[in-house]
């Protein structure tokens, strides 16, 4: 017979504590406490992904140059950096997190210039456009996928 859980909050706490211990192990014993913290592997803790609800890390610098949407996606998928091969273009929600913590994370082009001051998300607006964001003031936009913008890769 399976034991009955009588205290729901303590069961939830146990699950959360187990997940935190697991996360701590997966982040090479360096648990980030704030966006901008440098991880042992050289990546930057960027916050919690609003899409996966998991910790998200970013590369410490932008990808070199600027990219059309599909080239940005291919670049991220082929990136082998900091001992990881699971890099990707951030979603629109994750790009919002990167923008919110841009000062702590560092290295973003905040000049507002086009295209270097704009960053791609992986989120489609429609078939021919995707969301991007200007990092000088946070202006979101839907740009043609043949346009060019900067890229900061994320994982997690």
Question: Which tens digit of pLDDT belongs to each residue from 81-127?
Answer: 999 999 999 999 999 999 999 999 999 999 988 999 999 999 999 99
pLDDT surpasses 80 at 65: yes
Nearest to 102 by CA among 75, 67, 138: 138
**Least confident span in 3-17, 41-55, 66-80, 120-134:** 3-17
* Residue 99's CATH number: 3.10.100
Burial 119-145 (b: 16+ CB within 10 A, else e): bbbbbebeeebbbbbbbeeeeeebbeb
Beta bridge partners of 12: none
Judge contact between 100 and 48, C-beta under 8 A: no
Q: Which residues form the domain of 110?
A: 32-155
pLDDT of residue 38: 96
* In a domain? residue 84: yes
Judge contact between 122 and 79, C-beta under 8 A: no
Q: What domain count does the chain have?
A: 1
Kindly give, in sequence order, each residue whose CB lies less than 8 Å from that of residue 150, ignoring residues fewer than 6 positions away.
62, 63, 66, 67, 109, 115, 116, 117, 118, 119, 120
Question: pLDDT category, 73, cuts 50, 70, 90?
Answer: very high
Q: Report d(CA 75, CA 71) in Å as an integer.
A: 6
* In a domain? residue 26: no
* In a domain? residue 47: yes
* In a domain? residue 2: no
Helices (H), the chain: 8-26, 69-78, 92-100, 102-105
pLDDT surpasses 90 at 1: no
* In a domain? residue 19: no
Q: Give the pLDDT confidence of 7-40 residue by residue, as tens digits.
A: 344 554 454 445 555 554 454 444 568 999 999 9
pLDDT of residue 6: 38
pLDDT of residue 22: 53
pLDDT of residue 138: 95
Distances from the Cα of 123 to the Cα of 3, 109, 153, angstroms: 44, 21, 14
DSSP state of 82: T
Kindly give, in sequence order, each residue whose CB lies less than 8 Å from that of residue 47, ignoring residues fewer than 6 positions away.
35, 55, 56, 97, 100, 101
């Amino acid at each position: 017979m399976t034991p009955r859980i009588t205290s729901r909050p303590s069961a939830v706490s146990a699950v959360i504590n187990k997940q935190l211990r697991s996360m701590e192990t997966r982040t090479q014993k360096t648990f980030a406490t704030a966006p901008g913290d440098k991880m042992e592997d050289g990546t930057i803790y960027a916050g919690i992904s609003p899409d996966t609800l998991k910790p998200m890390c970013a590369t410490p610098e932008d990808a070199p140059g600027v990219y059309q949407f599909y080239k940005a996606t291919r670049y991220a998928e082929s990136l082998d950096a900091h001992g990881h091969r699971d890099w990707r273009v951030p979603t629109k929600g994750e790009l919002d997190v990167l923008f919110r913590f841009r000062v702590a994370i560092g290295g973003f082009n905040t000049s507002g210039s086009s295209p270097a001051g704009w960053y791609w998300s992986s989120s489609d607006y429609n078939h021919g456009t995707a969301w991007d964001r200007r990092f000088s003031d946070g202006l979101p936009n839907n740009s043609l996928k043949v346009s060019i913008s900067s890229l900061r890769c994320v994982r997690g």
